[in-house]
Structure 1
Amino acid sequence: MLVMKKIFPLIALQILLITALNAQSYQTPDKINDLVFTRLDVRFDYEKCYVYGKEWVTLTPHFYQTDSLTLDAKGMDIGEVAIIKGTQKFPLKFIYDSLKLRIRLNKSYSPGENYTLFINYTAKPNQRKGVKKNEHGVYFINPQGREKNKPTQIWTEGEPESSSGWFPTIDRPDEKAPSQISMTVPAKYVTLSNGRLASQKSNSDGTRTDTWKMEKPNAPYLFMMAVGNFHIYHDHWRGKPVDYYLDPKYAPYAKKIFGETPEAMEFFSKTLGVNFPWNKEAEIAVSDYVSGAMENTTATVFGNPFQGSVRELADQYFNAGIEHELFHQWFGDYVTAKNWSNLTLNESFADFGEIIWLEHKYGKDAAGEHVAGGLNGYLGDKNNYTKPLVNYNIKEPADMFTGVTYQKGGRILNMLRNYLGNEAFYKGLHIYLTTNALKNAETTQLRLAMEEASGRDLNWFFNEWYFGAGHPVLNISYKWDEVSKMESVYIQQQQEGQIFKVPLAVDIYSDSKAARHKVWLADKNDTLRFHLDRKPDLVNVDADKMLVCQKTDNKPLEELAYQYFHAPLYMDRLEAIDAAGKNLRDTTAQKVILAAINDKFPGLRKKAVRLIESADSAMKIKAQPKLAALAQSEQNNQTKTAVLQVLAKYNNAENLPVFYSALKSESYNVQAAALFGISRIDETKAITAAKTLEKDNEGELTEGIFVLYGKKADIKNWPFIYKRYTDGTLQEKIHLLNKFAIMVININDSNATRQGIAVLTDIGIQYKSDGAAPYIIKFLDKIKDAKKKQNDDASFNAASKGEEEINQAK
């Protein structure tokens, strides 16, 4: 955003015009050639991390005749470029600058006249300089198998414009074409790509060539490959294959991890009136993924957090990440945003898909919690406030991947659904999908579809919410006039910039019954007046809790308490709990919080339980029996963990049976909280309990054991600490580094200390280029100080030598 205060008006206008033109030309460059078909034949060099590729790409001029072609090709060696004529190849002249491959064709081609090029290339993703972590396109994970406890894998990530890091293409979302990808890999590995597995051929050199065919058009950023030792679980939906690819360690839990997929496919197909549009759905979990997940057409990639054992999965909360990516198969893959400026047509819909899935599967409270959390995420970054949802004034595609496109956009769709009603809204989505099937769209197409379905003019809505920035900032106050029997509601829009036209539902409660009033806000200051028989018990503005806004609601605490006990929605109760949390000494507030400990929804129970930590002693005494009872009855493990953690701080030996009972939980987090509770009462008993947990621990439980053992640093516990740490994954080692180092510092045993120093030194050397060295050297300095006091010269010298080795390492 430009600051224009000290720039002359003419110069300012020129700068704005230049900025706008540059941004738009970046996002929507002219279409000269179109992709018709892409055929790839690739092999992999696991030592060099190279992709050896052969490509046959068929294209045609978009409208005008052309004798040239420009392809995106990033970080490659281009060996040969030729035109294919029958069975012969004829070399073509080309210029390559490491980003663009500019080719002079053998003649001028006309629209509708196809031509096929052959390109022999080598992609070198790890040798590219100055690129972000998620821009390499293709990734080799532990390619030589040198990292302990990490699989060897290859996988790709193409969004927004990184597929051209592993094959030359026109890398833009408004290009779509069928494809065929052949991968030659070690025969022991499994492959996955778009479409169907058309053939497998065993080769004499111990490799196998798998050929995948994608017969419907597909944008280049959605092309994908994956190679590795994956186990496949075969599921199905209406006769179509639904396959889950997992590390063998997690294969037994495939149904638990991805098993909701067929149900979600059915729900989305029925809701949209458009059946899942592809031949299959495959879901693969890979190691060290550079994003959360990616909706490649027919083959979705997920990162490490989606894998887990039954015990690890028991610690998860409501997670709609699978449904987010699945909804993309319609919104983003079937109909694709024409350019990154319109990314809302992909990502906002995927976010919205999470909302309606949670509502369908887990109820309105789960969806309400998700809506509220996403709204807070958007509002939590003030940089979001100046960005419109459809944004042509961006420097690069990555600028669109923000809380505006995801969280705000998903909630804008939810708001539109509420305004139009489910029937009209989903009819509009059906029209949008069928009209633009297998093509590209801009936001105007969505508006036209919604207008066709509903018969309502929606220019005002799209101008406000899609092409405008920001949101209403509302200040709401109330006044009751006993003489006139009138309730007045004063609503100020306090935001800078546009004044929003807002439809609102207002519920007025009397005698536990609500009367619904539908109103509009249209001015900076609006006054709503309601004639009533008596002063209402509650006026609930934005009763559907749909509005994307910041709200200061000046209701007294008594009315908010009434709202908690009578209004139906998650956000109604959350607002009351939040207000109560700011007035913990108030008896009305305490009544709300004590009731909310047993709220029907686990997320609100958890929030209320956390507030007890800040309460006064009298309220804590009232809450303790409720917490003890809830600790035993709670079924949601995240909430149960919170209850145990708060109960632990009472240091009450009477709660020991509760903690010992919780140690039997399948949840690692619950066990960690139970261990913490025991340790607060009796550390010796906690250490005895920890011994029973050494064989099976992950995450918070492992950390809890490390903390507990680290306090006394007993040599008897060193074998577990050492083996668990050295056997851990890189992520575990990073997470537990501080706890491990504390054990090494505190333990009064020279051999154990030197073992620990060797491990720390190895980390400092191995990950020096990633910035680990300064942290490790700090720990080694602390070890030296501790061992100097203990007169342990051998350990002191070992730590000094470790520092020297790290400093000298290249």
Structure 2
Amino acid sequence: MRNWKRAQTVERVFPLSADSVRTLQHRRLSHLTFNVPGKTSHLLSIPRLTCIFSPQCSPTMPCTCTAIDVFQEDQLENECQLISMQDPFTDSHATPHYQPRLPLRPTHLALDLSFDIRSRTVKGRATHTVTAQWPGARTLSLNAEDFTQVKVSSPNDDHVTHTYNGHVIDIVFTLPFSKGQVIEIHVDYCVTDPIDGLLFSRKGDGHFVVSDHETERARYWLPVVDHPVVRTTISFTLRTPAAEDLTALANGELVSEETSDSVKVTTWEMKQITPSYLLCVAIGKFIRADGGKHSGKKIAYFAPSGGRHAYTVGDLALTFGQTKEMIEFMEGKVHCKLPWPKYYQWACGEVGGAMENSSLVSYDEWYMLDERSTNERAHRVSSTIVHELAHSWFGDLVVCADFCHSFLKESFATLISAEWYHYKNGNDDFQYTLARYSEVSFAETLEYVRPIVNRKYESSWDVFDRHLYTNGAWRLHMLRVKLGDEIFWNAVSFYLHNRSWQTVETDDFRKDLEKFTGEQLCSYFEQWFYSKGHPVLEASYSYDSSKGGHASVSLKQTQMDDKKGVGLFDISVEFAVEVNSGGWESHTIALQSGAATGQFIMRLHNKPLQVVIDPQKKVLHNLTKFSGLGEDMSLRSLTNAPTFAGRHQAVKLLHESGSKRARSALAEALKDEKHWGLRCIIAENLGKAAHLSTLPALIDAAFSEPDARVVPAILTAVGEYRHTSAETALLKFVKEGHEMMRPYGAIGTALRGLGKTRKLEYLDLFTSFLEDPVKHGKGFEIPQSAAIALGQLRDWKATEVLMRNVDPQNFKLAPRVRGTVIRAIGQAVTWEGPAARMKAFEFVEKICRNSDAAKPMRDAAGSVLAILADAGSPSKALEDLEKLSSNQDKSKIRSFRRRAKRAANGREGASKAMSTQFEKLQSELKELKSKMDDMQFKMDAMKVNKEKANGGDTPCSDAVPVSTGESVSQ
């Protein structure tokens, strides 16, 4: 898994009015582009939208609006990352991808490498053992980006030749080999400060060098066939300065650790075949916590020592302490033993997200817990840890033969996270997780739809989207429902045993399921894995008391879209009816063989008390409408529905109702609902409505909610109110929260809520939370949120504070935090004049082109340059940024260019439009002046005639007497 650091965007055009603004503000929108007829487009942020369409302002605006939706991972949900404005699977750079041709297939990789962390250099030898795939094979191509001192030799051919273009080493042997012949190839090389793949620590982070490869980044420091279809055994000889006394970790088993002269030599052996993207080393000054053994296999955890955060053995235990239990859970689930000789996990600040390297799993430093953050974030951290562990089977033991089949690892691992919640906390937690999975999946399908299995993409990283994770997990869940829980997991176990140590495609998985179950699954896979979209349903209910009484429930599929290639689905949807108090009936509506609608009629003597669609969350669908149900039924479901799904349905319907009674019921449920996740959802819906009658309940809950996981959602909702009591509560929470050592995320949420007030009086408060390390604790949420709050102030004083905290030589803040600071600068100067925006542009431009700046900072600078393209030309800087970026980031940088081009075109268009408008106004003014002069002359003439008619004298000797009605010229 690669955890989410990525945002997606979408453009939609619709009429804009004051009534729709609040809805827009709660859809995770970051910016709006106003397209006024006959005018230039204007990019505005949502906070500015609040100002324009406040209740005191004009209720309408004659324009359309292009909304840019942004969905982000939990820890980055408040950063304004606008990365892609196009569907990455249909733009001009997306092409079909296939496995590489391999005349000589690598079977073993021996690495003998020396690492110098201070000079950011690695050099040594990579020895490939390769086997001829067919008679006459004599060539091998190795991915190798920006290497120096490249030399190729072979004990099997003294005259082997090679060419190297900075990207690929093409090796040609003198004579062809016979099929099955084994050859060795030595590649000597050096890499200094690689763009990606191998990450060296920076000042303040500690002292380490670690690798991070998914999807195709091993090539930036290793000469390899950088594709998952190639799996080899691996031996590591890792050389480090003895004086530094570094811990050197790698995949597999520790063979030896010796010190000779001034060099420490650590040897590891990976006997299990492993693709390049799962190869891993982690070398540095680490603290270590032992997690015991499982079936004789060591479990241990590591984190940097001497870094910005003084992690302890206790922190490691809090973070990874459930690992042994998780391994036991997984082995019981898939009936297959852990396939690796050890299970080590480490965390540090240079990597992004989490990565399932075989036997040596890596984590972003964000995942590290301490006593202050555990109650708030342990739930999400555990989800990721069990996700990465699941990859030991799904992705590591059985490897996807190509990236297009990656759902076989990511969708499975995501489903396992939900299964873990089920195992630990019960069915409500399971259903809540599925509900969140569907929400984020639907958010992405508003932007684009693609098949889960899809060969056409620009970068292999593009396929690692929500389709792959949550959307695919839902489809596996439905397959489990279809086959039955026990049969499904036994069939999956058969697949894992049958395909162990192989590379697989989707059809291999299908065939193994069919072989084990006897089911024919072609149609299921065609519909759910090879086709686009998901069911979108409208439901209706009615009850007729005549003729003994009968109730009717109808469903209609509404997702059909020929342009997108989305059709109807064959689904069977259960619904549950409470026919009397505590008495339930379940029925099914089958929409099969292309049926768009279905209905079920039941004879009932009394009107039902509740109706719940899909009460066990068995079918992936978006229920957009439920007519005829009535508020009374939803109110009963809110408190009496026996499943999370029923109560969740009630929350949605009551929110849509918006009545006083519905609001009051939701406010009560915020206190009384038993499941913490649904309380989060209730708070979110109250925040969306932002009705003053429910604000007291939210404020009370912010200080009384017993579950730390719910508090950020409540504070986010409070922050949606533009009211002094909300502001007072947020300020109180920030001040008391710091003194009481409340969790980092809650304080950060309150800071962002205060930032929305845009009151400059909070400048010093936000600055202190950004710059004071004592207030940061061991988390990143507080300084990141303080930066966002400063950006929301939209004042140059705040911009100056942000700028002084961005300098690449300022190591007080972690790179990820400084990335947030850079994005906040883009937000802070949104409404500044041209001179200030140009100054901000030039400041960010330097960061974008600075090779010493950390990757999160350069990425943030690129996105901000695209936003500020009206203040300068970012073309050259973005070109330089692309040179400093890995291949899988190219599509992102192209999106920056597209956005910058639109902004530049808008600027040029604005200039031309203003010139044309000015000329037009001049002409209109001249014409108007002529008409006014003409009118004045007529009025003077009429006055003279009137006075003459009355016998008066002509008041002016040069006045021309004109009879009424006669034409006048001047």
Counterpart selection for 1:428 from 470, 485, 491: 491
**CA pair 93-612 structure 1, distance change in 2 beyond 3 A:** closer
Give the TM-score normalised by the residue count of structure 1.
0.78
Q: Distance in 1 between matches of 2:729 and 2:167?
A: 68
* CA shift digits 1:675-733 (9 cap, x unpaired): 999999xx99x99xx99x9845445656889989x99xxxxxx9xx99xx974434445
1:490 paired to 2:564 = no
Q: Which digits, 9 at most, give the CA deviation of each residue in 1:474-523, with x for residues without a partner? A: 22222333345433332222222432111322212212322222442113
Is residue 196 from structure 1 mapped to residue 253 from structure 2 by the alignment? yes
Residue identity in the other structure for 1:169: V
Q: Is residue 501 of structure 1 aligned with residue 570 of structure 2? A: yes
Could you tell me which residue of structure 1 aligns to residue 508 of structure 2? Answer: 445
**Secondary structure at 2:429 match in 1:** helix
Letter in 2 for 1:729: A
Alignment correspondent of 1:318: 379
Aligned partner of 1:301: which letter? S
Note the C-alpha offset of 1:742: 14
Per-residue CA distance 1:650-684 (angstroms, 9 max, x = gap): 3799999999976434424456778999999xx99
Question: In the alignment, which residue of structure 2 is the partner of 1:79?
Answer: 150
Contact 1:476 / 1:490 at 8 angstroms: preserved in 2? yes
1:630, CA displacement in angstroms? 7.1
Aligned pairs for 1:572-591 (under 5 A) are 572-591=646-665
Secondary structure at 1:250's aligned position in 2? coil
Which residue does the alignment assign to 1:5?
Answer: none
Equivalent residue letter for 2:165: D
Q: Matches of 1:383 and 1:773 in 2, distance apart?
A: 25
Shift of 1:279: 0.6
The one-letter amino acid paired with 1:533 is: L
C-alpha distance in 1, partners of 2:724/2:108?
A: 64
Opposite residue 226 of structure 1, the aligned amino acid is: A
Amino acid of the residue matched to residue 682 of structure 2? A
Deviation, 1:202, is 1.0
Q: 2:814 is matched with which residue: 714, 726, 729?
A: 729
**3-state SS of 1:461 partner:** helix
Amino acid at match of 2:452: L
* Contact 2:428 2:644 survives alignment (8 Å): yes
* Corresponding residue SS for 2:188: strand
Q: Which amino acid letter does the alignment assign opposite residue 493 of structure 1?
A: Q
Which stretch of the first structure deviates more once superposed, 734-743 or 763-772? 734-743
Q: CA deviation at 1:414?
A: 1.2
1:171-212 alpha-carbon deviations (Å, 9 max, x no partner)? 22122121101111123221111101111121312x311111
Partner in structure 1 of residue 964 of structure 2: none
Structure 2: how far apart are the matches of 1:702 and 1:48?
30
Which string of whole-angstrom CA distances, capped at 9 and with x for unpartnered residues, describes residues 197-252 of structure 1? 111121312x3111111011111221111222111211132321111110222233
Asked which structure has the greater CA Rg, the reply is 2
Give per-residue Cα distances to partners, 1:303-337, cap 9 Å, x unaligned: 12112432234432621111111111100000011
Residue 175 of structure 1 pairs with residue 230 of structure 2: yes
Question: Could you say what secondary structure the match of 2:508 adopts?
Answer: helix
Q: Is residue 305 of structure 1 aligned with residue 361 of structure 2?
A: no
The one-letter code matched in structure 2 to 1:516 is: S
Q: Give the aligned partner of residue 806 of structure 1.
A: none
Question: Relative contact order: is structure 1 or structure 2 higher (C-alpha 8 Å, sep ≥ 6)?
Answer: 2
Give 1:650's aligned amino acid: S
TM-score by length of 2: 0.66
- For the 8 Å contact 2:844–2:864, the answer to whether it is kept is no
> 1:101 is matched with which residue: 156, 169, 173?
169
**What is the CA–CA distance in structure 2 between the aligned matches of 1:301 and 1:154, rounded to whole Å?**
12
Q: How big is each residue's C-alpha offset from its partner over 1:422-478, in whole Å with a ceiling of 9 and x where there is no partner?
A: 101101110110000011111112212222333322221101001111112222222
* Change over 3 Å in CA distance of 1:563–1:33 after alignment to 2: farther
Q: How big is the alpha-carbon RMSD for the aligned residues of Structure 1 and Structure 2?
A: 4.4
Moved more, 401-410 or 474-483: 474-483
Q: Is 1:35–1:57's contact at 8 Å kept on the other side of the alignment?
A: yes
Q: Is the 8 A contact 1:78 1:119 kept in 2?
A: no
Q: What do the CA deviations read for 1:1-56 (whole angstroms, capped 9, x no partner)?
A: xxxxxxxxxxxxxxxxxx99x955x3133442222211011113446533213122
| Residue in structure 2 matched with residue 749 of structure 1 by the alignment | none
Matches of 1:363 and 1:328, distance apart in 2: 23
Which stretch shows the higher mean deviation, 313-322 or 113-122? 313-322
What do the CA deviations read for 1:361-381 (whole angstroms, capped 9, x no partner)?
A: 233333333322222222212
Residue 525 of structure 1 is matched in structure 2 by 596
Structure-1 separation of matches of 2:241 and 2:703: 51
Determine helix, strand or coil for the equivalent of 2:423.
Answer: helix
Please tell me the residue identity of whatever aligns with 1:276: L
Greater shift, 462-471 or 731-740, is seen at: 731-740
2-structure distance, mates of 1:728, 1:23: 40
SS of corresponding position for 2:312: helix
2:586 aligned to which of 470, 491, 516: 516
How far, CA to CA, are the matches of 1:656 and 1:336 in structure 2?
Answer: 51
Seen in structure 2, the aligned counterparts of structure 1 residues 369 and 54 have a Cα distance that, compared at 3 Å, is same
**Distance (whole Å) between structure 1 residues aligned to residue 275 and residue 322 of structure 2:** 27
Q: Name the aligned partner's letter for residue 188 of structure 2.
A: N
Summarize the Cα distance change of 1:431–1:380 in structure 2 as closer, same or farther, 3 Å threshold.
same
Q: 1:105 to 1:417 in 2, by over 3 A?
A: same
Q: Residues of 2 paired with 1:726 and 1:124: CA distance?
A: 22
1:138 aligns with 2:198: yes
Structure 1 gaps, min length 5: 1-18, 127-132, 712-717, 744-759, 779-810
Letter paired with 2:249 = L
Match among 138, 157, 161 for residue 67 of structure 1:
138
Structure 1: distance between partners of 2:365 and 2:477: 30
**How many matched pairs?**
717
Q: Which amino acid aligns with 1:114?
A: V
Aligned to 1:122: 190
Distance in 2 (alpha carbons) for counterparts of 1:264 and 1:108: 50
Structure 1 match to 2:725: 650
User: Counterparts in 2 of 1:536-555, with a 5 A limit?
Assistant: 536-555=608-627
Q: Mark the CA change 1:429 to 1:774 in structure 2 (over 3 Å): closer, same or farther.
A: closer
Q: Is the 8 A contact 1:95 1:101 kept in 2?
A: yes
Q: Distance in 2 between matches of 1:620 and 1:596?
A: 12
Verify: 1:667 aligned to 2:736, yes or no: no
Q: Is the 8 A contact 1:314 1:666 kept in 2?
A: no
Match of 1:399, SS state, is helix
Distance (Å, rounded) in 1 between the aligned partners of 2:359 and 2:669: 47
Q: Is the 8 A contact 1:194 1:223 kept in 2?
A: yes
Q: 1:580 to 1:593 in 2, by over 3 A?
A: farther
CA contact (8 A) 2:727 2:754 kept: no
Q: Is the 8 A contact 2:452 2:468 kept in 1?
A: yes
